[in-house]
Amino acid sequence: MTNLEGRMAIVTGAARGTGAVIARRFVEQGATVLLGDILHEEAEDTAAKIGDGAHFFPHDVTQPADWDQVVARALELGDRIDVLVNNAALLHLGTIMNTPEDVLRRVLEVNTVGPYLGMRAVVPVMRKQGGGSIVNVGSVDSLIGMNGITSYCASKWGLRGLSKAAALELGRDAIRVNSVCPGGGNAEMYGPWMSQLANFMDETLAYTENRAIPGGVPLDKIADAVCFFASDASASCTGVDLPVDGGAHAGHFIPGFNTL
């Protein structure tokens, strides 16, 4: 159903976590993949472990020149760009009053401006070849609000808006733009925040347990959703936000109420 045979794809933030799992899955489905990241050694190692079909590319999503270079490399490798997955992102924990302006700007720069630059870089190629698929990795925080992650939440809602507008603008060029909205991911993203989160272990656990389907979200389930949008199986889908979140976006779950 999600055959990617012969496709050329770019996956950003693919050194580790979700991006690495997506890149591996793409190669398994027959695609050639450029794995970009600012973590050069880790990304190079990930590409080597995936093997034939996976190629590391040093890539900072906030730098237009890096986008020019990754597009040139993709054309050199595959003479086309079928899929762009805007997966790279930065997390910052802090309320609006505890988030300095420069931090907000940096988070928006990586999580929203980065995908905007990516879309601008690949669209001319996709238009010329007659189509393509862009998959933006948002979050459940693109769909509902959450306190204490103001800049991240704003950046992911911005990315969702960007995806909707782009879907409408590019549909007649056969370029589809969809969002996958996970309700969890790689724990390494929380690395810099672990000492603060340690004070809220019960609340953090409740966050993932009080869902229709309790627990975390396996990265391969996020990759399944990305593969669906990357492939022709979703040929009639554009402008979609697909939550992969155990139902976290669906509403409030109060454990005792299931016995009423």
Ligand X SMILES: NC(=O)c1ccc[n+]([C@@H]2O[C@H](COP(=O)([O-])OP(=O)(O)OC[C@H]3O[C@@H](n4cnc5c(N)ncnc54)[C@H](O)[C@@H]3O)[C@@H](O)[C@H]2O)c1
Shortest gap between Cβ of 222 and ligand X (angstroms)? 7
If we measure between CA atoms, which residue out of 177, 147, 172 comes closest to residue 162? 177
Taking CB under 6 A as the binding criterion, the range among 59-67, 77-85, 171-179, 200-208 that sits at the site for ligand X is: 59-67
190 is catalytic: no
- Which of 116, 152, 190, 207 is catalytic? The answer is 152
Of the pair 173, 207, the CB lying nearest ligand X is at: 207
Contact between 135 and ligand X by CB under 6 A: the answer reads no
Residue 44 Cβ vs ligand X, minimum distance, rounded to whole Å? 12
Q: Does 69 bind ligand X (CB under 6 A)?
A: no
Half-sphere exposure of 81 (CA within 13 A, CB side): 28
Residues 15-34 contacting ligand X, CB under 6 A: 15-19
35 or 167: CB nearest ligand X:
35
Assess 139 for contact with ligand X (CB under 6 A). yes
Contacting positions for ligand X (CB under 6 A):
12-13, 15-19, 36-39, 59-62, 87-90, 110, 137, 139, 182, 184-186, 188-189
Active site residues: 152
